[in-house]
Copies of this chain bind each other. A is one copy, B any other.
Amino acid sequence: MDAQLKRGILDICVLSAIKYEDSYGYKIIKDVKPVLDLSESTLYTILKRLEETNMLVVRTTIHEGRVRKYYHITHKGLKKLEDFRDEWKELMEVYSFIMEDKR
């Protein structure tokens, strides 16, 4: 998918991936990649941003000798997901405008 089109939904996608269950970077990539391709550098950049804007909180654990950081969605993160429904509605209207047959 076009990089620009991705921008609006990448953050939302990542939040959605931890919506019901805490998850960690490596797993999030595996979960999201089939539906929306993203690289490790992109994902960790996004996770950092979401942490800085208090959309999620981090808990560092050790799993089989490896560091594993679990991400947990916050109230603010859940609200962001909720608000996206309205954003999507707006986007649908724009799409209608784009595809409108003006002849």
Contact A36 B87 (CB under 8 A): no
CB contacts (< 8 Å) of A36 on chain B: these are 94, 97
A12 contacts B98, C-beta separation under 8 Å = yes
- Contact B94–A20 (Cβ < 8 Å): no
Of B7, B87, B97, B102, which contacts A13 at CB under 8 A?
Answer: B97
Residues of chain A from 46 to 83 with CB closer than 8 A to chain B in the complex: 81
Chain multiplicity (copies): 2
Interface string of A1-21 (1 = CB under 8 A from B): 110111111011100100111
User: Size range of the interface on A?
Assistant: 20 to 34
Told that A36-B97, A85-B99 touch, could you supply 15 new A-B pairs with CB distance under 8 A?
A2-B8, A2-B87, A4-B11, A5-B8, A5-B91, A6-B8, A7-B8, A8-B8, A9-B94, A9-B95, A13-B98, A16-B97, A20-B102, A35-B93, A84-B98
